[in-house]
Amino acid sequence: MSRLFGYFAATAVLWLATAPCAAGQPRSTGKTYDEILDTYVRDGLVYYRALKSDRAKLDAYIGSLAAASVESAPRDEQVAFWINAYNAIVLQTVVEHYPIAQHTTQYPPHSIRQIPGAFERTPHRVAGRTVTLDQIEQTVLSGFHDPRIYLALGRGSVGGGRLRSEAFTGGQLETQLKEVSDECLTRSECAHLDRAANKLAVSAIFSWREKDFVAAYADKAPGVFANRSLIERAVLAFIQPKLLQTERDFLAGNEFQMTYKPYDWSLNDLTGRGGR
C-alpha cells in the first residue's frame, strides 16, 4: 500500500511540475519569468549587463512560449500571457545586442531602436504563431480592447510603460493594470501639467493607440470638454480621476493646450550607461 501511495505521490509531483497553467505555459517557466523580473528589474529599469551574463532562464522561458496554447484560456490569462511574452522578448532582444552599437543618429545611443528591425521585422514564435513585436501589440493585444495594456509594455525604453518587477497573471490582471494606469500619471514621461505654460503634455503612446483610447474613454469625458477632439476627451477622461483636485479644477477651465511629448527611446538600463 505504501509503495502504491509513493507511486501516485511521485506522479502527482511530476504532473504539477509540468502541467500547463491557465495561461498555456508550464508553471515552472512562468515562475522562472517572475524570478527574472524580481532579480533584474528595479523601478522600471533593467540590469541588462547582469541579465546578459545569466540569460539561460530568460531564453528557456521564451523558448517555452512557442508551443504554448492560450486560445482556450480565460481572457485575463491570455492578456497576461501576451504582455509577459512581449516584455520578455524585448528583454531578450536587448541582451542579444548588449551593449547596443549605434547605427543611426535618429535615436539615442544604445537605444533598442538602434537594433535594425527589432519591432517590425524580427519574427518570434509565440503560441504557435510567428509574430513580430509590432504584430503582438497591434494585432493581438489590440484585440482585447483595453488600452491600459499599452502602458504595460516596457518597449525597452524610458518612455515606455514602467516595467514591473513581477510578471502579469490572470488572477491579478485587473489590479495590475489599474496600478499601471495609476502609476503612469506619476511619471512625467506619461503626463505633465504645466500650469504656467497652460499646457498638458502627454505620452505619444496615446496618439499611437488613438483608436483604442477613443473607443474606451472618449464618451466618459466631462461635458466641459465637449468641444475637444475625441482623443483629447479620451485622454482627459483617462487621467482626470487620478489627478489632484487642484489639477482637475485647473483643467476644468478648458483653456489649456494638449500636446504629445516626444517619445524617449533611451534604453531603460539601470546602470544608466547603456553598456558603455
Tell me: do 68 and 156 sit in the same domain. yes
| DSSP structure class, residue 25 | S
| DSSP structure class, residue 229 | -
Tell me: do 178 and 196 sit in the same domain. no
Tell me: do 72 and 101 sit in the same domain. yes
Question: Does residue 58 form part of some domain?
Answer: yes
What is the domain extent for residue 104? 21-184
Question: Does residue 12 form part of some domain?
Answer: no
Question: Does residue 207 form part of some domain?
Answer: yes
Tell me: do 51 and 167 sit in the same domain. yes
Phi, psi of 269 (to 5 degrees): -95, 125
Question: Does residue 14 form part of some domain?
Answer: no
Distance CA 252, CA 43 (A): 33
Question: Does residue 237 form part of some domain?
Answer: yes
Q: What is the largest CA-CA distance in the chain?
A: 80
Tell me: do 145 and 68 sit in the same domain. yes
Q: What is the pLDDT along the chain (276 residues), one digit of tens a residue?
A: 444 434 434 443 333 333 344 444 545 566 899 999 999 999 999 999 999 999 999 999 999 999 999 999 999 999 999 999 999 999 999 999 999 999 999 999 999 999 999 999 999 999 999 999 999 999 999 999 999 999 999 999 999 999 999 999 999 999 999 999 999 989 999 999 999 999 999 999 999 999 999 999 999 999 999 999 999 999 999 999 999 999 999 999 999 999 999 999 999 999 855 444
> Whole-prediction pTM value?
0.89
Q: What is the DSSP string of 68-94?
A: ---TTS-HHHHHHHHHHHHHHHHHHHH
Q: How many domains, in total, are found in the chain?
A: 2
Distance CA 249, CA 244 (A): 9
Tell me: do 150 and 82 sit in the same domain. yes
Question: Does residue 175 form part of some domain?
Answer: yes
